[in-house]
Amino acid sequence: MTRFALSPPAGRDEARRVKCSTLGIGLAGLGTVGSGVVLALQRNSDLITDRTGGTVRLKVAKALVRNPAKARAADLPADAITTDWQELVADPAVDIVVELIGGTDTAFDIVAAALKAGKPVVTGNKALLAERGTELFALSKEHDTPIHFEAAVAGGIPIIKTVQESFVGNRILSMTGIINGTSNYILERMANAGLEFSEALKEAQDLGYAEADPALDVNGWDAAHKAILLATLAYGFSIDPTKVYVAGIEQVRPIDIEFATRLGYVVKLLAVVREHDDGSIEVRVQPSFIPKSHILASVHGVFNAVAVHGDAAGESLFYGSGAGQDPTASSAVADLVEAARSLRQPDGHRGFLPYKEAGALVPVEETTTAYYVRFDVTDRPGVVAEIAAKLAAAGIGISGTHSPVNPETPDADFVDMVFQLHSCPFGLLQETLTEIEGLDCVNSSPVVFRIEKL
Amino acid sequence: MTRFALSPPAGRDEARRVKCSTLGIGLAGLGTVGSGVVLALQRNSDLITDRTGGTVRLKVAKALVRNPAKARAADLPADAITTDWQELVADPAVDIVVELIGGTDTAFDIVAAALKAGKPVVTGNKALLAERGTELFALSKEHDTPIHFEAAVAGGIPIIKTVQESFVGNRILSMTGIINGTSNYILERMANAGLEFSEALKEAQDLGYAEADPALDVNGWDAAHKAILLATLAYGFSIDPTKVYVAGIEQVRPIDIEFATRLGYVVKLLAVVREHDDGSIEVRVQPSFIPKSHILASVHGVFNAVAVHGDAAGESLFYGSGAGQDPTASSAVADLVEAARSLRQPDGHRGFLPYKEAGALVPVEETTTAYYVRFDVTDRPGVVAEIAAKLAAAGIGISGTHSPVNPETPDADFVDMVFQLHSCPFGLLQETLTEIEGLDCVNSSPVVFRIEKL
């Protein structure tokens, strides 16, 4: 259990402490967030030093870029620029390495090399930690060198420090988050402007919210990577991404949003992390209906929020900018200060380390909520009866059904038929829906939304 | 500027480090929050140790009570109870002192004695720090021993750590908070159930939300103490409470809330802390109209929230339980872990210390918002013209006026007359209102609400 020796090696302390008047940062990546870090440090350097009682002064010693000729928002001297990541990590002027290049290959090599060199790491790379965190946390432990990743989850919202330090005395009962701003923007534009998914996505891309390849945003995996990190943090063990159920927003249609509105819900891409009574952990990402009176329903546009339920703190919510140059840089700078402090402390850093070998995940089949299910059916007498009979046979209750008929074509052959269902295990629902899909009146796979209680 | 020597006294480190396997807590006060701390530590002790990598184990060594015979939620052995605060602080088994007795006299003595003994302090006492923080922070500095006060502001919301650590790289542009749950509950009941102030207050008292003497809740000073601490934290200097403008909710009437609703606002007791361009700081507490679309308007009941605007992080909001046994204990326990860590670190703690000798406060007369003003007038022709003429002479624009007339007594002699006014400095408004009060048609001092832009 103990990860720090009570009596650390003395020589190393001395070596560390001497360097601490000004600490050199090695910045891997000088794109949007990287430039934000440079600018924030230039702007608020004295303030940071004041606030840390004169103990921390930070300076970008070296930056890794792909193309040194490219014009950038952040101004650095030419000799501080390199295209060789090994040079960046090895540079004796670099005390802390900031990884902001993304991806899971070179980024992994950079982080691993920094840890091996005893240089604390700050990263905003959620995919890297969610996919390869087990290896990196092992290196962090082996070399007693921290990884900090506030910038990896929810941009400028300090959710990592909050869960790790402020909730240290709480069992975390649940965390429910809107943690992909692009999806949230798209769903809101569909709701408010009546746009189709593809139109809203195009708009988000034009505004620079979505990536050129928005796959990870809309398929739920960006949110899932963050949820995995939050769960790891709260419960202390690495989560296998292949065990996490993830559904994105590609299948959301205006009709679903209309139906949600009529029932008093809003549609959000929700990441849910929850501890069950037996200690096993539920982690999933799905489009969900949430009550419009809940404070999470007030999270608009590209903002993010995470609701945390602690056994002592009760219901809390942390809200802010989930992405963007300055907010993400704000988190990276806070981590840099943590990293700088760890270099002064012989006896423990605040980088996260798993504290359990493993833990149980709840299979998604056993997770239980109410549901909204949309079927694409051939409209003929008996359709409702046939679907309802299958649900009845499975013991799944129906709260309501509805088919939104276009007044101008009331006898269209193919229609959407919506069922609102009582709570049941997701596995039972899936089996039943597979059976229903076999009915000749059902034309394609049903689309499922969770109705979350919160 | 530097508050910690780069090379700390070595003997002291050793002394500190040796004790750190299990740390003893001296708990001054075993009331609601104190019992919550005991219970949280009993419940989650192993979890805390796991999450700190085996470095922190906490145990209540001694508790100070007034009446040892009284039955309590938290169970402690008889020899761990004392009625003598000096014994508590001096006990060699006590490494950290938690002050939860309230007030500014004995509480001051306890905190001062603990700091002098080199024992870190955790306190939930906002009045103590807001009124006598200057003396205590000086002792903290002199004895290189931290004061932690997460539990003093907004219960379970980790706003102190967030501002101090997560926003370390941000200039704080503003903090806007709903930080008195009792006031918020009362205002909401007035709005939703049409209650008078006194009825809603009675209800809050019956539910145990308000203190038996609810003066500090409803006169704004509980919120003001918290706002003073937030401002001190964000800007690094002690704020003189006598320079802070504070108005409570005693004068709010249902008519004000109705009027706010009609205009698209909700009424909240708002604490505003804001940095002006010249670096001077605005700190004030007042009932305010805020747009009902703003996320702060969704803070219901006894919940608290603080919106923080950082130059890098942008707009953020931190929301949760602002009071109560478990939420406040959650914050105290997080601080205990901080305090425990500081005992292991020879080289710097995270207790807040002012880093500026002084700073400029904006006189409330120079603070500018729009306003809603309610006059108690004798209803006769010419009233509006006379008031409007005074406002015009001062150059204060009028957005609208309204007199809510009871349909059954349309010719009542005394009526409320409401003016919605454009932005102007508060001092100019006050001078003009003093003149208006001199009109023979005006029967008492006008009631002013800020209309906040946010």
- Which residues face B289 on adjacent strands? B267, B451
A86 three-state secondary structure: helix
- Which residues face A307 on adjacent strands? A176, A317
Give CA–CA dist A418/B39, Å, rounded. 48
Note the pLDDT tens digit of each residue in A222-236.
999 999 999 999 999
Please determine, for residue B334, whether its predicted confidence score (pLDDT) is greater than 80: yes
Which helix (H) or strand (E) segment holds residue A371: the answer is strand A368-378
Note the pLDDT tens digit of each residue in B250-298.
999 999 999 999 989 999 999 999 999 999 999 999 999 999 988 899 8
Any chain A CB within 8 A of the CB of B38?
no
Backbone angles phi, psi at A252, to 5 degrees: -70, 135
Same domain, A315 and A169: yes
pLDDT at residue A210, as a whole number: 81
Give CA–CA dist B160/A341, Å, rounded. 18
Give CA–CA dist A222/A245, Å, rounded. 13
CA dihedral defined by A191, A197, A198, A204, rounded to 10 degrees?
60
Any chain A CB within 8 A of the CB of B171?
yes
CA dihedral defined by A343, A349, A351, A353, rounded to 10 degrees?
140
Give CA–CA dist A239/A358, Å, rounded. 8
B28 annotated as ligand-binding: yes
Q: Which of A156, A313, A334 has its CB closest to that of B156?
A: A313
Residues of B in contact with A331 (CB under 8 A): 166, 313
- Residue A370: CB atoms within 10 A of its CB come to 17
Q: Are A48 and A335 in contact (CB under 8 A)?
A: no
Give CA–CA dist A234/B391, Å, rounded. 58
Give CA–CA dist A339/A74, Å, rounded. 22
Residues of B in contact with A355 (CB under 8 A): 50-51, 53
What's the token pair of residue A238?
């690495």
Q: How confident is the model at residue A351 (pLDDT cuts 50, 70, 90)?
A: confident
In a domain, A418, yes or no: yes
What's the token pair of residue A111?
């982080």
* B220 Rama sector, left if φ>0, alpha if ψ -120 to 50, beta otherwise: left
Query: Catalytic one among A62, A119, A161, A226?
Result: A226
Give CA–CA dist A154/A160, Å, rounded. 9
Full residue range of the structural domain in which residue A413 is found: 364-451
CATH number at residue B190: 3.30.360.10
In a domain, B26, yes or no: yes
Give CA–CA dist B266/A227, Å, rounded. 34
**A70 tagged catalytic:** no
Mean pLDDT of B46-55: 90
In a domain, B2, yes or no: no
Same domain, A231 and A175: yes
Any chain B CB within 8 A of the CB of A320?
yes
Note the pLDDT tens digit of each residue in A268-320.
999 999 999 999 999 999 999 999 988 899 899 999 999 999 999 999 999 99
Residues of A in contact with B167 (CB under 8 A): 158, 330, 334
CATH number at residue B44: 3.40.50.720
Same domain, B47 and B20: yes
Same domain, A176 and A79: no
pLDDT at residue B402, as a whole number: 86
Please determine, for residue A406, whether its predicted confidence score (pLDDT) is greater than 80: no
Q: Are B376 and B416 in contact (CB under 8 A)?
A: yes
Mean pLDDT of A329-337: 96
Any chain B CB within 8 A of the CB of A295?
yes
Tell me A319's DSSP state: E
Q: Do B161 and A161 touch (CB under 8 A)?
A: yes
Residues of A in contact with B171 (CB under 8 A): 43-44, 47
What's the token pair of residue A316?
């809390």
Any chain B CB within 8 A of the CB of A44?
yes
Same domain, B101 and B235: no
Which are the contacts of B231, defined by CB distance < 8 A and separation ≥ 6? B175, B239, B273, B281, B283
Q: Are B107 and B134 in contact (CB under 8 A)?
A: no
What's the token pair of residue B166?
């997560």
Please determine, for residue A410, whether its predicted confidence score (pLDDT) is greater than 90: no
Distance from CA of B203 to the nearest CA of A (A): 23
B42-72: buried (b, 16+ CB within 10 Å) or exposed (e) per residue? Answer: ebbbebbbebbbbbbbbebbbbbbeeeeeeb
Q: Where are the beta strands (DSSP E) in B242-291?
A: 245-246, 265-275, 281-291
Give CA–CA dist A61/A24, Å, rounded. 5
Q: Do A317 and B312 touch (CB under 8 A)?
A: no
Comparing CA positions, the residue from B225, B126, B227 lying closest to residue B175 is B227
Note the pLDDT tens digit of each residue in A29-76.
999 999 999 999 999 999 999 998 888 999 999 999 999 988 887 889
Mean pLDDT of B213-232: 94
Q: Are B450 and B270 in contact (CB under 8 A)?
A: yes
| % of chain B with per-residue pLDDT over 70 | 94
Distances (CA, A) of B57 to A350, B45, B68, B297: 17, 7, 26, 41
pLDDT at residue B448, as a whole number: 95
pLDDT at residue A405, as a whole number: 67
Same domain, B87 and B181: no
Same domain, A54 and A114: yes
In a domain, A144, yes or no: yes
Mean pLDDT of A166-189: 96
Any chain A CB within 8 A of the CB of B66?
no
- Which residues face A288 on adjacent strands? A268, A450
What's the token pair of residue A6?
């009570």
Distance from CA of A47 to the nearest CA of B (A): 7
DSSP string, B70-95: S--SS---GGGEES-HHHHHH-TT--
In a domain, B100, yes or no: yes
Please determine, for residue B178, whether its predicted confidence score (pLDDT) is greater than 80: yes
Question: In this predicted model, which residue has the larger pLDDT, A120 or B407?
Answer: A120
Domain count, chain B: 3
Note the pLDDT tens digit of each residue in B415-444.
889 999 999 999 999 999 999 999 999 999
Distances (CA, A) of A130 to A248, B129, B270: 18, 42, 40
Q: How confident is the model at residue B208 (pLDDT cuts 50, 70, 90)?
A: confident
Q: Do B165 and A337 touch (CB under 8 A)?
A: yes
Tell me A163's DSSP state: I
Residues of A in contact with B330 (CB under 8 A): 166-167, 169-170, 310, 312-313
pLDDT at residue B351, as a whole number: 84
Classify burial at B309, counting beta carbons within 10 Å of its beta carbon; exposed 0-12, middle 13-18, buried 19 or more: buried
Same domain, B147 and B33: yes
In a domain, A330, yes or no: yes
The single residue listed with the structure tokens 């909730």 is: A167
Any chain B CB within 8 A of the CB of A10?
no
DSSP string, B379-418: --TTHHHHHHHHHHHHT--EEEEE----TT-TT-SEEEEE
In a domain, B60, yes or no: yes
Comparing CA positions, the residue from A185, A182, A261, A191 lying closest to residue A220 is A182
Mean pLDDT of B200-225: 91
Note the Cα A6 to chain centre separation in Å. 35
DSSP string, A194-220: ---HHHHHHHHHHTT-S-SS-HHHHTS
What's the token pair of residue B255?
């008519």
CA angle A43, A45, A48 (to 5 degrees): 125
Query: Catalytic one among B226, B243, B292, B356?
Result: B226
Please determine, for residue A452, whether its predicted confidence score (pLDDT) is greater than 90: yes
Backbone angles phi, psi at B286, to 5 degrees: -160, 155
In a domain, A196, yes or no: yes
A126 annotated as ligand-binding: yes
Backbone angles phi, psi at A61, to 5 degrees: -90, -35
What's the token pair of residue A105?
């290959």
Q: How confident is the model at residue B445 (pLDDT cuts 50, 70, 90)?
A: very high
Same domain, A39 and A110: yes
Q: Do A3 and B53 touch (CB under 8 A)?
A: yes
Please determine, for residue B77, whether its predicted confidence score (pLDDT) is greater than 60: yes
Residues of B in contact with A324 (CB under 8 A): 314
Q: Are A349 and A146 in contact (CB under 8 A)?
A: yes
Comparing CA positions, the residue from A32, A27, A118, A18 lying closest to residue A73 is A32
Give CA–CA dist A128/A111, Å, rounded. 10
Give CA–CA dist B168/B310, Å, rounded. 10
CATH number at residue B418: 3.30.70.260
Distance from CA of A380 to the nearest CA of B (A): 45
Same domain, B50 and B105: yes
Same domain, B82 and B112: yes
- Which residues face B305 on adjacent strands? B178, B319
Same domain, B99 and B193: no
Q: How far apart are the first and last CA of chain B?
A: 34
Question: In this predicted model, which residue has the larger pLDDT, A121 or A341?
Answer: A121
